[in-house]
Amino acid sequence: MTNALSPIDKAKFVAAKQATEYVKSGMKVGLGTGSTAAWMVQCLGELVRDHGLKIKGVPTSSRTAKLARDVGIDVITLDEAKWLDVTIDGTDEYDDDLNLIKGGGGAHLQEKIVATASDRMIVIADASKKVESLGAFPLPVEVIPFGMHTTKALIEETLNGMDVMGREVTQRHVADAPFVSDEGNFILDLHLKRIGNPRELSLILNQIPGVVDNGLFIDTCDVVIVGFADGRVTVRDLAADQHEVVQFNILENENLFADIKD
C-alpha cells in the first residue's frame, strides 16, 4: 500500500504516528484540521478501535469532526471539555522559534482557540514546512463580512508601515464564490513573502476593526514533529530543550489509510 502513497504522504503519516505517543487514555485532545492532521485523526481512531484507547476529541473544524466520528473517536465541544491535555495539528510554516503560520484550510480561528486552551500544542509536519522567516505562505486573516472591503483597505494601509516584503491582499475564493469559514466569515490572504516581526504584526492586525484573528501562532507551539519519506522522524521539544530522531519501518502491508485526501 505504501507504493500508492507519495513521499510527502509517507512523511505526513510517520509524523502523525509519532504524535500519537503523546496521547494517553483519559485525555481530552484537540484535533487539528488539514491533510497532515487527518493522518493523526486516523491513527488515533485505529488506537481507539483496536487498542482500547479512550479519549475525548475536540475538533477544530466541521471536516475534522466528521472524520473523527467516522473513525470512532468520541467527539465533544470545547465548552464541554473546558480544558485540553494536548492539541495536535499541522502547520503551513514554522520557524526556528516554533512560531507558525496556519490557516491554509481556513480553520485557523478554531485551531488557535483550541490550541490556546491546551496544556501543550504539538505540530506535525513534513520537512517542507520549515522556513527561516515566516511569510512565504500567504498569511490568512479572518474578517467579518460586514464592511469587508473597508477592512481590507485598512489592512493594506497598515502593511505600509510593517516590516514585510510584500503587501498584496486578496480575498480567498472557492471556485467562483468567496470562501466562508465555519463561523460564517471571509478570509483575506496577505502575500507578505517575509515577515520581519511576526509578534508585532499579529498584534497590530488584530486591532483593526473587522478583523477576527490572523493565522500567526506566536508562543503557542511546544513540540514540532517532522516526518520524512524514509520513515525518519525528528522531534523538537522546546520545554525539554530536546531534539531526537525516531525511525519507523513502513511495511508494505501496513494500513496507511490511503483514502485520505487533502
How far is residue 187 CA from its own chain's centroid? Answer: 16
Q: Is 104 annotated as a binding residue?
A: yes
Q: Is 215 annotated as a binding residue?
A: no
Measured at the CA of 168, the angle between CA 164 and CA 170, to 5 degrees, comes to 135
Q: Is 74 annotated as a binding residue?
A: no
Q: Is 105 annotated as a binding residue?
A: yes
Q: Is 231 annotated as a binding residue?
A: no
Q: Is 92 annotated as a binding residue?
A: yes
Q: Is 20 annotated as a binding residue?
A: no
Alpha carbon dihedral 204, 207, 209, 214, in 10-degree steps, equals 60
Task: Please choose, from the candidates 157, 155, 227, the residue with its C-alpha nearest in 3D space to the C-alpha of residue 186.
Answer: 155
Radius of gyration of the chain from Cα atoms? 18
Write down the residue that cell numbers 500567504 correspond to.
Answer: 138
Measured at the CA of 93, the angle between CA 206 and CA 32, to 5 degrees, comes to 80
Calpha distance 116→87 (Å, rounded)? 9
Q: Is 36 annotated as a binding residue?
A: yes
Task: Please choose, from the candidates 161, 100, 108, 109, the residue with its C-alpha nearest in 3D space to the C-alpha of residue 131.
Answer: 100
Q: Is 90 annotated as a binding residue?
A: yes
Q: Is 35 annotated as a binding residue?
A: yes
Calpha distance 66→76 (Å, rounded)? 12
Choosing from 93, 111, 168, 254, the catalytic residue is 111
- Say how many C-beta atoms besides its own lie within 10 A of residue 231's C-beta: 17
Q: Is 87 annotated as a binding residue?
A: no
Measured at the CA of 217, the angle between CA 158 and CA 206, to 5 degrees, comes to 30
Q: Is 111 noted as a catalytic residue in this protein? A: yes
In this structure, are residues 209 and 154 in contact, taking their beta carbons and an 8 Å threshold?
yes
Question: Which residues are documented as binding site for substrate?
Answer: 33-36, 89-92, 102-105, 129
Query: What is the set of active-site residues?
Result: 111
Question: Which residues are documented as binding site?
Answer: 33-36, 89-92, 102-105, 129
